[in-house]
Amino acid sequence: MSEWWSVVAVFWTLYLVDGVFFGRRERLFLSSWRGEWRWRFWRRARVTQSPRTAHLAQASWHISPPFPWAYTLALDDLPASFAAEGFTNWPGAATSRPPPIPDSPSAASWGTAVKIGTDGPWITLGGSRFAPVTNALDGRALRELIERLAALDPGRRESEINTWHTRRFSVLRARRRLGAGMARTRGLVWMNTLQFAGWIALSVALVRGIFDPGLPFGSAGSWRWLEPEQIRWWAVCGWLFLMHFVVLGVAWRLHGKLHPLRTSERANLIFSALLLPAQAMRLRAALLGPLAQGIAPLAATLAAGTPETARVAAASTLRDLEFPVRPTGISETVSGFADSAAGLIRPAVEKALADAAKDGVAGLSAAELLAPPANLGAGVCAYCPRCGDGFLRADGQCPQGVKLRPLDRFNAVL
């Protein structure tokens, strides 16, 4: 063991820390450890096909898989609902559990003049907090949407909202966008994989004492000639340094091409990457992140998740649509708008499930996804159709306020 092990430990800790996402609120993270390595990496022809290897997790922080070829995508449910009558910050058809329920539910009709602004991480409506700024919706997007929808008559508005959701939930569009993003960042992945190999080799050489960077300097600090076996390790160091700057240059250019308007984000990204060991996972997440804007988590998961992840996300979204949380105490306007908005999302969700099922993801039919859970235990005569918990009495509500369903009656209907 050489004394360099602490330097190596600090380096790899920084490498891992660089892949950590922190946030004030919970988000959905679609990430894959083996990325597209398994088969896409080598077959360029299949760029539009997404790898079905990703898993979905919900958390306020997330650590990216520590391999250059892995990827992470932060996704958000829409923190608002749009109905023909008006809009509210009560979410509809949310994939996350719990869904992004607001601290103070509010609603506004299309006719009323409302001032939409942004206050730090919040979208404000008439000065008070409406919804968090997310990848799904920010202040500007909400303002544009409201201006566009308010000008239409109710019938036109309904079809416009429906079209908007169909785009958000389109599996084909999600696959195309994510596939294009993956293809664009593939060069970066290659370079980072080479770097990764170099860092591992260098770490092993340092820890085992094969390479000693202190060696060229004598005990009195005077320069000595390099020993021949050390020269190649210094060459590896030089090459890694060079690669570091090449990777950052490539990331800078790609970011400029993919997201030309996000100049300050680009500067921050490259500056922070300069100071930490360059790694593809964060650069890639930053490059892919904005592409996920306007894509519903369900669409992204159906496009790139494993079949099991896709089914979990589909069931969760469908249950939120069919058995939404409407606690006593929320105003009738809010729950009315949310119910009517859910009706406008339903066709888009159904289309997404049908498209994914056609694509080979089995078990995506509504009947299967909404079926009562099996093996609820002895004496259970009712269940909550939303959370799947079993209950010993047939009437009443689950703690979330969802009406229970008797088990026998449901089975008899089937």
CB of 99 to Zn ion, least distance (A): 13
Binders of Zn ion among residues 368 to 407 (CB under 5 A) are 384, 386-387, 398, 400, 402
356 binds Zn ion (CB under 5 A): no
Angle at 323 between CA 319 and CA 326, to 5 degrees: 130
| Sheet strand arrangement including 107-109 | 81-82, 86-88, 107-109
Strands (E), 304-413: 382-383, 390-391, 405-406
Q: 174 or 407: whose CB is closer to Zn ion?
A: 407
Binders of Zn ion among residues 147 to 176 (CB under 5 A) are none
Residues touching Zn ion: how many (CB under 5 A)? 6
Angle at 73 between CA 70 and CA 76, to 5 degrees: 160
CB of 317 to Zn ion, least distance (A): 16
d(CA 255, CA 251): 6
Q: 313 or 384: whose CB is closer to Zn ion?
A: 384
Q: 137 or 402: whose CB is closer to Zn ion?
A: 402
Closest CA to 217 of 234, 239, 241: 234
CB of 367 to Zn ion, least distance (A): 20
Q: 51 or 92: whose CB is closer to Zn ion?
A: 92
CB of 319 to Zn ion, least distance (A): 9
CB of 310 to Zn ion, least distance (A): 23
d(CA 187, CA 202): 23
Binders of Zn ion among residues 104 to 123 (CB under 5 A) are none
Gyration radius from the chain CA atoms: 26
Show the binding pattern over residues 171-200: x = contacts Zn ion (CB under 5 A), - = does not: ------------------------------
Q: 191 or 398: whose CB is closer to Zn ion?
A: 398
Largest Cα–Cα distance of the chain, in whole Å? 90
CB of 102 to Zn ion, least distance (A): 20
Q: Hey, which residues does 128 pair with through a beta bridge?
A: 125
CB of 370 to Zn ion, least distance (A): 13
Q: Where are the alpha helices (DSSP H) in 90-218?
A: 139-150, 154-168, 171-184, 186-207
Q: What is the DSSP letter of 97?
A: S
Q: Angle of helix 307-322 relative to helix 297-304, nearest 10 degrees?
A: 160
| C-beta atoms surrounding 107 within 10 Å | 23
Q: Hey, which residues does 131 pair with through a beta bridge?
A: 123
Q: 94 or 178: whose CB is closer to Zn ion?
A: 94
Q: 23 or 401: whose CB is closer to Zn ion?
A: 401
Residues that bind Zn ion (CB under 5 A): 384, 386-387, 398, 400, 402
